[in-house]
């Protein structure tokens, strides 16, 4: 080995030891010929002192021959720092290394940004030089936590009889959900593989194969627009079990998450997690991405305005619409320009407008609607929302779906902007009782809310022809602080049931066989009842670290437009490579 210790391992107990260290020059300070170097490696940072009285050649070399981010090897003696010079911010702060030798292993150009946690570099620069960004202690901590989470998952599941099975990366295109990434086949010209959006079908086949308890830390790919919580390629825990029902899956998932938070964060997470039906979640929070850390829940207030003189409110209610509202605590003094901004955002999300009422002392209100509101309406609105003086009411009069979407988004946004979201609070919940189908008005067809292999709840066959929209499915999502972490369901294991679901979706027998024939064939050979879930590793890390952008927890991420700024991918390929594949590129 080129070194005897890691820089961050040294403590007061090592005083007097001769050590050899290797790492990068983090900081360099020259005090009248005495050179102080903060040496950083993967284990941490320690202060090195080059003193001309102790080692003149090494001190001279440190003075003239090294700079930040030089990779060096240093020999020296560990000594206790003088009283009053200790650095309590560093684990190594009680000691320093008096250098006797210095070897430059490699030089460094001036980096495009300082390798510090509190850096000011823009994200494109960080991604362009990701290998330098990853030298920052914070980024190293993130990836080490990621490693620990995956290790804990494997140990947890191994102890409970699960077997890890790797499924193919090159597989069949089954156009459901997001777009596939396609891979052309050279050996089968004109045909394509698809990169898996998830191992869904393959893990079901593993249940048919009799493994009973499967898991995989799976790489998945979706050719969709990236968002703060989505990435073109991502990692998920994929899990499936045989001879189980909903409660069995929920129990092991809760146990796993409680274990991860305890083992990796030292936090006790209470179980069982509350279960919230989908319809209730949307009605209370505006979406199924439930955040239980704060109030501001959506409330129906159309009863308050049954006798209103406001024509816009009357027209909405007469057409079957609703009036819904949220109360924003302490926002009664919000500036009118800020309210205009919120109104524009509401309209961008589909609302026709956004009404507001600021509550003052003595029952008075500030609002463009003030002269149209009766005393009963003012009091009724405040009572319905639980609002008091200094609070702000925001109202949307529209279809219930529009009002929920708009107010749900404003609820989350304003809670963050106004500091209403508690820190270090973990509020897990399940969202259950999802509708099986949702109607696509533009396309005049049904689509599964999850995927077509989900098992419907008991009694579904009586509704399949008369009212498919009333069918619920045996599905469940784990949501933590407004972010979905895991999604799963009990699967259909009977071919006749699967055929009926395909009929509602407009998937004829030929199409079903073309897309899923191998799965349907497998189900002719005694498939067991089975179910499972998939949990996003990236999203789990986001919530553990309270990070809002998924790229921060991925070692080598791509931008929102799918570019790898470090390598330049995607890039054109050589003409002969396209010829071998029988592909011609058409310029857009």
In a domain, 486, yes or no: no
Report whether 92 contacts 8 (CB < 8 A).
yes
Report whether 72 contacts 23 (CB < 8 A).
yes
- Which range of residues forms the domain containing residue 86? 7-106
Which residues of the chain have a pLDDT value below 70?
175-177
Tell which of 106, 126, 157 closes a domain. Answer: 106
SS3 at position 86: coil
Which residues, including other chains, have CB under 8 Å from residue 181's CB and lie 6 or more apart?
194, 195, 221, 222, 223, 232
Is there a single domain that holds both residue 20 and residue 125?
A: no
pLDDT of residue 228: 81
Tell which of 106, 134, 154 closes a domain. Answer: 106
CA angle 13, 17, 23 (to 5 degrees): 95
Neighbours of 18 (CB within 10 A): 12
Report whether 89 contacts 38 (CB < 8 A).
no
In a domain, 424, yes or no: no
In a domain, 113, yes or no: no
Helix (H) or strand (E) holding 194: strand 192-195
What sign has the CA pseudo-torsion 223, 228, 230, 235?
Answer: positive
Q: How many residues are there in the chain?
A: 588
Q: What total number of domains does the chain contain?
A: 4
Alpha-helix runs per DSSP H in 395-434: 400-417
Tokens of 31: 């005090």
Is there a single domain that holds both residue 251 and residue 128?
A: yes
Which residues, including other chains, have CB under 8 Å from residue 212's CB and lie 6 or more apart?
241, 242, 243, 528
Is there a single domain that holds both residue 521 and residue 538?
A: no
What is the residue whose two structure tokens read 């055929």?
499
Is there a single domain that holds both residue 125 and residue 231?
A: yes
Of 245, 277, 251, 275, the C-alpha closest to 434 is 277
Of 426, 120, 155, 476, the C-alpha closest to 288 is 476
Neighbours of 482 (CB within 10 A): 22
Tokens of 320: 């079957």
**What is the distance between the alpha carbons of residues 287 and 281, in angstroms, rounded to a whole number?**
6
In a domain, 427, yes or no: no
What sign has the CA pseudo-torsion 227, 232, 233, 236?
Answer: positive
Is there a single domain that holds both residue 135 and residue 257?
A: yes
In a domain, 425, yes or no: no
**What is the distance between the alpha carbons of residues 493 and 503, in angstroms, rounded to a whole number?**
16
Is there a single domain that holds both residue 498 and residue 568?
A: no
Of 351, 477, 332, the C-alpha closest to 408 is 351
3-state helix, strand, coil in the chain (%, to 5): 35, 25, 40
pLDDT of residue 465: 86
Which residues, including other chains, have CB under 8 Å from residue 273's CB and lie 6 or more apart?
250, 254, 428, 429, 430, 478
Report whether 100 contacts 48 (CB < 8 A).
no
Is there a single domain that holds both residue 510 and residue 534?
A: no
Is there a single domain that holds both residue 542 and residue 445?
A: no
Is there a single domain that holds both residue 86 and residue 198?
A: no
**What is the distance between the alpha carbons of residues 383 and 303, in angstroms, rounded to a whole number?**
12
The DSSP code sequence of 514-550 is HHHHHHHHHTTS-PPPEEEEEEEHHHHHHHHHT-S-G
Neighbours of 146 (CB within 10 A): 21
Give long-range contacts, CB 8 A cutoff, 24+ apart: 142-145.
142/541, 142/545, 142/547, 142/552, 142/553, 143/555, 145/264, 145/541, 145/544, 145/545
Is there a single domain that holds both residue 80 and residue 14?
A: yes
pTM across the whole model: 0.93
How far is residue 421 from each of residues 160, 295, 338, 346, 426, measured CA to CA in Å?
Answer: 36, 9, 20, 21, 11
**What is the distance between the alpha carbons of residues 431 and 408, in angstroms, rounded to a whole number?**
16
**What is the distance between the alpha carbons of residues 401 and 385, in angstroms, rounded to a whole number?**
20
Is there a single domain that holds both residue 262 and residue 349?
A: no
pLDDT of residue 515: 87
In a domain, 245, yes or no: yes
* CATH assignment at residue 383: 3.30.1360.30
In a domain, 560, yes or no: yes
Is there a single domain that holds both residue 523 and residue 584?
A: no
In a domain, 277, yes or no: no
């Amino acid at each position: 080995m080129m070194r005897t210790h890691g820089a961050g391992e040294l403590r007061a107990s090592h005083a007097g030891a001769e050590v050899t260290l290797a790492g990068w020059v983090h900081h360099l300070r020259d005090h009248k010929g005495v050179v102080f170097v903060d040496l950083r490696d993967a284990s941490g940072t320690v202060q090195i002192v080059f003193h001309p009285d102790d080692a003149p050649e090494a001190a001279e070399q440190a003075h003239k021959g090294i700079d930040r981010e030089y990779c060096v090897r240093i020999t020296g003696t560990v000594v206790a720092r003088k009283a009053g010079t200790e650095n309590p911010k560093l684990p190594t702060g009680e000691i320093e290394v008096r250098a006797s030798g210095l070897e430059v292993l490699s030089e460094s150009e001036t980096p495009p940004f300082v390798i510090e946690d509190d850096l000011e570099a823009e994200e494109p620069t960080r991604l362009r030089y990701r290998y330098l960004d990853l030298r920052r202690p914070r980024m190293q901590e993130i990836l080490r936590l990621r490693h620990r989470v995956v290790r804990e998952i494997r140990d947890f599941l191994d102890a409970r009889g699960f077997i890890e099975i790797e499924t193919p990366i090159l597989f069949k295109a089954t156009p459901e959900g997001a777009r596939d990434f396609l891979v052309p086949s050279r050996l089968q010209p004109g045909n394509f593989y698809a990169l898996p959006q998830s191992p869904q079908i393959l893990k079901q086949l593993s249940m048919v194969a009799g493994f009973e308890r499967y898991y995989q830390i799976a790489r998945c790919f979706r050719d969709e627009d990236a968002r703060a919580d989505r990435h073109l390629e991502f990692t998920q825990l994929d899990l499936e079990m045989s001879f189980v029902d909903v409660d069995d899956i929920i129990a092991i998932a809760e146990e796993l998450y409680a274990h991860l938070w305890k083992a990796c964060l030292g936090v006790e997470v209470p179980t069982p997690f509350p279960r919230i039906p989908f319809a209730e979640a949307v009605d209370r929070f505006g979406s199924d991405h439930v955040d239980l850390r704060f109030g501001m829940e959506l409330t129906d207030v159309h009863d308050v305005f049954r006798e209103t003189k406001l024509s816009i409110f009357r027209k909405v209610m007469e057409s079957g619409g609703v009036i819904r509202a949220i109360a924003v605590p302490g926002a009664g003094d919000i500036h009118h320009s800020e309210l205009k901004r919120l109104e524009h955002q509401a309209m961008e999300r589909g609302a026709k407008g956004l009404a507001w009422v600021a509550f003052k002392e003595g029952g008075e209100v500030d609002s463009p609607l003030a002269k149209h509101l009766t005393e009963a309406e003012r009091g009724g609105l405040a009572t319905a929302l639980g609002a008091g003086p200094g609070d702000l009411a925001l109202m949307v009069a529209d279809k219930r779906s529009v009002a929920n979407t708009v107010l749900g988004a404003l609820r989350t946004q304003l809670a963050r902007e106004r500091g209403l979201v508690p820190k270090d609070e973990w509020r897990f919940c399940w969202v259950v009782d999802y509708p099986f189908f949702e109607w696509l008005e533009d396309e005049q067809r049904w689509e599964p809310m999850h995927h077509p292999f989900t098992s419907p709840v008991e009694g579904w066959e009586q509704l399949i022809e008369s009212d498919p929209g009333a069918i619920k499915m045996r599905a469940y999502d784990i949501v933590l602080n407004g972010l979905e972490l895991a999604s799963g369901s009990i699967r259909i294991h009977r071919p006749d049931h699967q055929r009926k679901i395909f009929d509602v979706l407009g998937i004829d027998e030929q199409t079903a066989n073309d897309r899923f024939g191998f799965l349907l064939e497998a189900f002719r050979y005694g498939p067991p009842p089975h179910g499972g879930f998939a949990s996003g590793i990236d999203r789990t890390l986001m919530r553990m670290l309270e990070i809002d952008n998924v790229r921060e927890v991925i070692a080598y991420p791509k931008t929102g437009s799918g570019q790898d700024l470090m390598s330049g991918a995607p890039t054109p390929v050589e003409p002969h490579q396209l010829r071998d594949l029988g592909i011609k590129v058409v310029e857009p």
